[in-house]
């Protein structure tokens, strides 16, 4: 008996292709990333309702990069504290990282996010998004200015967010 989710595969592959295209042409990829996030982890269908409520992130960061097979070495800190699950080498073109509420400063106070990144191959582009309660904001984006040279493949980005939220 075929799985009822088999029909989602063409849609999923289409979204992946659209995401990669958006990165190539420097288009906003936040909505595509959110759609893929929903397909990657449909928590409400897999876990009891009370567990879903307990695990829903207060804030989630989303990285998207091109090419999706490019390995990305990442160390991420929020307010000088390492973000759980954000240290290592990742591939696949996207990464979703929930930030526990306990790591965030009180509402209305600016938070600082430091990303230490290194792409292990040249020719990359990336976007970093933050999602707070379904509101997505592009925090940072970048591209490899010299694909033939590894000189710009390692860098540190510091971004601030949340200062104007009430």
44 with 60: CB under 8 angstroms? no
In angstroms, the Cα distances linking 26 to 14, 65, 120, 126 are: 18, 11, 21, 9
* Domain limits, the chain: 56-161
Q: Is 113 helix (H, G, I), strand (E, B) or coil?
A: strand
101 with 111: CB under 8 angstroms? no
pLDDT in tens, 60-93: 899 999 999 999 999 999 999 999 999 999 999 9
Task: Determine whether 115 is exposed, middle or buried from the number of CB atoms within 10 Å of its CB (0-12, 13-18, 19+).
Answer: buried
How does residue 17 score in pLDDT terms, banded at 50, 70 and 90?
very high
In the chain, % of residues over pLDDT 70: 84
Give the global pTM.
0.78
């Amino acid at each position: 008996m075929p799985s009822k989710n088999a029909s989602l595969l063409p849609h999923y592959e289409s979204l992946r292709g659209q995401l990669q295209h958006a990165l190539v042409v420097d288009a906003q990829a936040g909505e595509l990333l959110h759609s893929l996030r929903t397909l990657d982890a449909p928590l409400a269908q897999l876990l009891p309702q009370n567990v879903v409520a307990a695990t829903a992130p207060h804030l989630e960061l989303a990285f998207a990069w091109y090419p999706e097979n490019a390995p990305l070495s990442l160390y991420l800190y929020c307010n000088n504290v390492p973000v759980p699950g954000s240290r290592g080498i990742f591939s696949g073109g996207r990464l979703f990282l929930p930030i526990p509420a306990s790591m965030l400063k009180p509402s209305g106070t600016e938070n600082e996010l430091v990303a230490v990144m290194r792409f292990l191959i040249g020719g990359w582009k990336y976007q970093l998004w933050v999602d707070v309660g379904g509101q997505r904001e592009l925090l940072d984006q970048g591209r490899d200015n010299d694909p033939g040279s590894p000189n710009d493949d390692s860098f540190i980005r510091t971004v601030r967010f949340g200062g104007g939220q009430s």
